[in-house]
A and B are shown apart, each in its own frame.
Chain A
């Protein structure tokens, strides 16, 4: 065989020595090897130790994904449909809804008008709800997509679909794919961090799973109380010095073992323990909001230690993680499933989230981070133009699940600011212009990070899997600056 190739392969196999930091090097090699081979990962990776370039020039280095679990009503927030007001109380025309199915309502239910006033905001004149006074301020920074649609209409599968590209648990999530493809920027924090507020998540931990990717790519959930990362604190009675002594002893033992066995893998273990130690030092600093000015805390509405401000706290923490080089920050906020009293529900949720979302955009911008941080906001599907009401369930003036159309917004990271993209029909039922499928959303996010979604593949059980499934999907280039 080609001796060069042979050398390259050998080199690739042995140069793990050089990657003392197990977080940094490997992902880059993964990408390099994919690039070298037209998408199918092969072993003869680039022979240089410098990180390989991505598929094309990335606009974003990291993502903050504000996932609004439960599915916010686009009709109360971003997709204004005065026609619904006109038709309120009348059954929706059968032609519109032929063949659709719903979780709770009958398909011939009556129309429910928008519950709030809308107005044009900013220079761009994008129309959004009066329930979003803070977001209204930053509308010109945002890219709205009103023509999102999905394949699934129950929470758990739809959330998994949005996070992993598949409705059944077991596939790698977007953050895991990016960790695999791009590696870590930080050497003292995980690549992929998960923050949660507002109640339980239907999709479960499958939403930040590494799936069939190596488990180190899975999202690390930061916990609401106690240690931000499981067992990151030393046990009671063990201080930092003892832990350091332990680690020093371990390193000496392991180095002796490396000599004894000739096994270079041991270096990887040593560096994992070193990174653990760095994370231990980093975590308290990361979580210490006292470094933030009162003005910053106030702008987010953040109140350290106060569960009622959990979302605002998480947004601020997300910015701090972004500053420290975390690649993918997934912020989940549950509580948007308004089958009844959608007006009251939206009011409650926007009160909890509007200010912090806007503050995050402004804060990132002011710190120069918005340029290379992609912020994503959205739920798992939309809500029906029809009312949901059921005496048996004690529901009225609500909206049911609606996979046919919903709105997401993006900011920074190479997206075109001040844009409203796509259109639904006058009832807000179907997308009529520029449909954007969930897989297109995912392809677009990867694109912003310099990755061709068709080339970020992983071979598993004989097949090349990718985040965006087997059907044809594309990044929406019209959205890019």
Chain B
């Protein structure tokens, strides 16, 4: 469908609706014996009245609502049977601008025809109906036209009945060749080969066509074709979007979709797995991978953004995508206020969004690292999974052995105590600074850094009196940097310091090893004050991939505290302990899921008091800052705090120690001096390292995973992220069918609700979308809006019958596709007489096949296929054909086969999609989109005539042709014509093309360098065995044909 038509449709989206209502209302009237509320009245009320007198109480004027019959009657707006008594009619007909409805300032007006309809409707007692799409799907009788042999199946019976009501009759069947081309594109997105064409033309059996359809449905290209369309629905993109728009790794999900279509996964499972595969019992990795669907929305990274603002945006996008894709509802407006046209309240919007608001995600992805935003799935191979499992077993074994060792008095303890324990008269004085560590015996071994600030040279942070000598007072904007601290997550380590906070900090960074806060998703480790409490964390990507613990009580202000954080290398929150004044603090575990590295991203060493775009420890004081490359024992932490605990114990006779002290000293011995324990500890650490080294390079992909603690969703006033209203719980809109009683109140329950037999929408929306795929237009021409502002169906009974039939046959998509393409309706010719064109210019009644332009992907894939350049390979990472070098943010093209893959594999960058795709109306993929425009513009001509992909493809086609028909130009032209249109050229067409060929042959023979220059376009070398002038001439003919209507159109 080209320019003008699409213009009329789009410039006037209700054209279809009006055409249905105005042109053709008689049969409706005849059928319904009166005015039909859903067909004729609701659109008027919805468009002209509901904005102020509809479902939204916020904008309701004069307390009048017209969407509920009884309210309108009580108000006397409608007096059934008495149009002239009805206030509604009076006000519409009023001439006084003060009283007239709709008020002139609203810029809405009601036509005389519409007023007549309203009057007639009220005269007929003003019956209301539920909006058609909300009616439960009930069995529909299939009409029969006994006198016609035309119908092949039920579809045709419905179509023929409507057609005849409009005074139309079906067209002839399409020519076999045209039909083969049509169905091959529709089911595989590719043209038929000449072999397939010849075979079909030669096959005179009754089921020749059916055999073709079955062959096409079974071909792997079917899955690719179906996926290309699904990528628009799922707003698929290989990059995150927004400003920075970095690459992301999501294509394994696209390959899942291809596999699902090719395996003919029932559509209910296809949807359920994408919405909630992670919640299925014993979910497989593949089922979890399906849920990437929910994470394909754009994501933000720009500095200074408020993470919550964008997190809320993601939740909304997921909700709206599901509503659009599966319910055909335009939910977006209910985000800020109750829907003005459809029965959806703002509360219901947030109740529905609550299903999608329960994953551990960040509002921003990480600028400084390439971490995959959480939650995600590790895409490990079978072998990797086996290795991981055996390493986990080994680790568990080492842990058990280590625990057993810790139950006994360690070997050698007595000897050590008697001969080797460090006896010192005085508590050890720790003087060395980071730069000059002294190798003197230590009570607390393993120290790798120590800042005592005694010789601090004031910069912005200044020296102040401290616990011992001087401390440092921090500005919060200036860090104190160390040269150590780049620990991996399997390495035990400890940090100890004295600190004093001047006030109750809501948030303050005490120390950290990281490049930044949200800009690095806090990659590394850190000690913060949050809401006055101490919080220690090890982080791959905050919040979903981290260990984090927090003290239950706020810390006191205005006094010195000794704080230590010890970590045992276990990669569990239980191994992370905060100590205050030598005692273990009572902690809450905030996060306990760390599966990837805590290194990388920059900021490799510890910094005190400040972090990039975070809140520093402003006016906080720090003293005696020490770092240890081991987990300190309890006694050691006490010693660091009081300077005496350990030293004093070591002075005592062994016999005099209490049991507790004896255990503490044994623990101290074990950790520092026991060979057996240290050997085992080393083995354990090595095993953990092996696991980490194995896991860290395995890619992850964003998926859905429910929080263990449910996240509370709130109504957001005006949709603003920080204007929280009432708390809401997950629920579905009351106007729709009830949530299944036995279903869980989560996404899986929601999926069950979506795919329920009682759901009036999903099956209708789905069959309509596939109808649109095959006919260019849906039965409902607004596939994304089945609400009261959407178009009414042209064939309501057919839509209902198809939808119910689809459900009753197990949501079998291949069956549905076959059912449609087998119909006589589909198999008609697209040719039209002027008379029929005038009767039904938009082809609503399908008395002919509706010709339409091939989508962007098929135009390009067709050129590649006929040229022989197409690389027939399924799935894998996205590729970069020529046109990406010409996009807004140019990216170098692939080399070799990446230039010749099917278009659904073309790298999709949200802020810079391939211009050749968008010029041909490819969806922008910012949001879920169920329909594309089909325009024609001069810019398309430039791409098809001059773009390197098409120039090279034309040459490929010419090379193929010249090799098959080296001598015979006419045969060559026919060969190309058949490849591109599936038919023989007419004598006139042949003549026109031969003339073009002759002109060019002469021209290129006279200008050999022009021929070579032309043939050199593209990366692939031209066939040097052919005569350049002949090849160039044939290439020009091929290029012309690629631009020919019958090649670009589905006819």
Contacts and interface: CB of A to CB of B under 8 A. Distances in A.
Interface stretch (A7-15, A133-141, A357-365, A426-434): A7-15
A392 interface: yes
Interface stretch (B761-769, B866-874, B915-923, B964-972): B915-923
Nearest to B1018: A235
B22 A206 contact: no
A455 to B, nearest CB: 6
B237 to A, nearest CB: 11
Contacts of B298: 168-169
A421 B1013 CA distance: 59
Contact of B19 (A43, A215, A231, A250): A43
A102 B306 CA distance: 10
A13 B242 CA distance: 39
B15 interface: yes
Contacts of B430: none
Contacts of B478: 391-392
Between B306, B342, B841, the greatest number of chain A beta carbons within 10 A of the residue's beta carbon is seen for B841
Interface stretch (A79-87, A122-130, A257-265, A345-353): A257-265
Given A266-B2, A461-B324, 11 more contacts: A16-B4, A19-B4, A43-B15, A103-B304, A154-B243, A170-B924, A204-B889, A209-B924, A261-B1051, A273-B938, A462-B341
Contact of A230 (B241, B942, B986, B1039): B942
B935 A205 contact: no
B601 to A, nearest CB: 16
Contact of A231 (B109, B333, B942, B1015): B942
B7 A30 contact: yes
Interface stretch (B221-229, B627-635, B1040-1048): B1040-1048
A261 B47 CA distance: 38
B313 interface: yes
A257 B341 CA distance: 45
Which 10 pairs from chain A and chain B are nearest by CB?
A103-B304, A237-B1014, A16-B4, A204-B911, A156-B243, A43-B15, A462-B789, A237-B1013, A276-B938, A276-B941
Interface stretch (B153-161, B444-452, B668-676, B989-997): B989-997
Interface string A78-103: 00000000000000000000000111
B938 A275 contact: yes
A242 interface: yes
Contact of B10 (A213, A236, A393): A213
Nearest to A457: B107
A284 interface: no
B936 to A, nearest CB: 5
B851 A42 contact: no
Interface in B1-53: 1-8, 10-15, 18-19, 22-23, 25, 47
Contacts of A343: none
A294 interface: no
B878 interface: no
Between B1, B946, B993, B1048, the greatest number of chain A beta carbons within 10 A of the residue's beta carbon is seen for B946
Contacts of A458: 10, 13
B945 interface: yes
A216 B935 contact: yes
Given A236-B1014, A242-B1000, A454-B107, A220 B613 contact: no
B935 A256 contact: no
Interface in A14-32: 14, 16, 19, 22, 26, 29-30
Interface stretch (B83-91, B549-557, B731-739, B828-836): B828-836
B277 to A, nearest CB: 27
Given A16-B8, A246-B945, A10 B241 contact: no
B1043 A392 contact: no
A154 B942 contact: no
Contact of A257 (B113, B241, B939, B1046): B1046
B933 A42 contact: no
Interface in B1009-1048: 1009-1017, 1032, 1036, 1039-1040, 1043-1046, 1048
Contact of A5 (B14, B113, B935, B937): B113
B11 A41 contact: yes
A3 to B, nearest CB: 11
Nearest to A459: B13
Given A16-B4, A275-B938, A246 B1039 contact: yes
A238 B1036 contact: yes
Interface in B874-888: 886, 888
A266 B10 contact: no
A249 B996 contact: yes
A214 interface: yes
Contacts of A213: 10
Contacts of B1010: 237-239
Contact of A43 (B8, B332, B787, B838): B8
B243 A204 contact: yes
A298 interface: no
14 contacts: A1-B22, A1-B113, A2-B22, A22-B936, A30-B11, A215-B921, A215-B935, A223-B886, A231-B886, A238-B1010, A250-B1040, A257-B1045, A462-B785, A463-B332
Nearest to A200: B889
Contacts of A299: none
Nearest to A188: B938
A219 to B, nearest CB: 11
A481 interface: no
B1017 A235 contact: yes
Given A26-B7, A220-B939, A275-B938, A156 B22 contact: no
Given A22-B4, A253-B1045, A276-B938, A234 B946 contact: yes
Interface of B: 1-8, 10-15, 18-19, 22-23, 25, 47, 107-109, 113, 241-243, 245, 298, 302-306, 313, 324, 330, 332-333, 336, 341-342, 460, 477-479, 610, 612-613, 782, 784-785, 787-790, 830-834, 837-838, 841-842, 851, 886, 888-889, 910-913, 915, 918-919, 921, 924, 926-927, 933, 935-943, 945-948, 951, 986, 988-989, 992-993, 995-996, 999-1000, 1003, 1007, 1009-1017, 1032, 1036, 1039-1040, 1043-1046, 1048, 1051
A220 B912 CA distance: 13
A233 B1045 contact: no
Interface of A: 1-2, 5-6, 9-10, 12-14, 16, 19, 22, 26, 29-30, 33, 37-45, 101-104, 153-156, 168-170, 180, 190, 200, 202-206, 209, 211, 213-216, 218, 220-221, 223, 229-239, 241-243, 245-246, 249-250, 252-254, 256-258, 260-266, 268-269, 272-273, 275-276, 279, 390-393, 401, 454-455, 458-463, 470
Contacts of B342: 462
A272 B612 contact: no
Given A9-B23, A213-B10, A230-B915, A268 B2 contact: yes
A236 B1016 contact: yes
Contacts of A249: 992-993, 995-996, 1040
Contacts of B841: 10, 13-14
Given A101-B306, A461-B784, A214 B1045 contact: no
B947 A216 contact: no
A42 B13 CA distance: 7
A257 B1014 CA distance: 29
Given A41-B11, A214-B935, A250 B1043 contact: yes
Given A44-B18, A170-B926, A206-B911, A253 B992 contact: yes
A350 to B, nearest CB: 25
B322 to A, nearest CB: 14
A214 B10 CA distance: 7
A280 to B, nearest CB: 8
Given A10-B841, A265-B3, A268-B3, A169 B241 contact: yes
A272 B988 contact: no
Between A14, A42, A235, A252, the greatest number of chain B beta carbons within 10 A of the residue's beta carbon is seen for A235
A30 B6 CA distance: 12
A238 B999 CA distance: 13
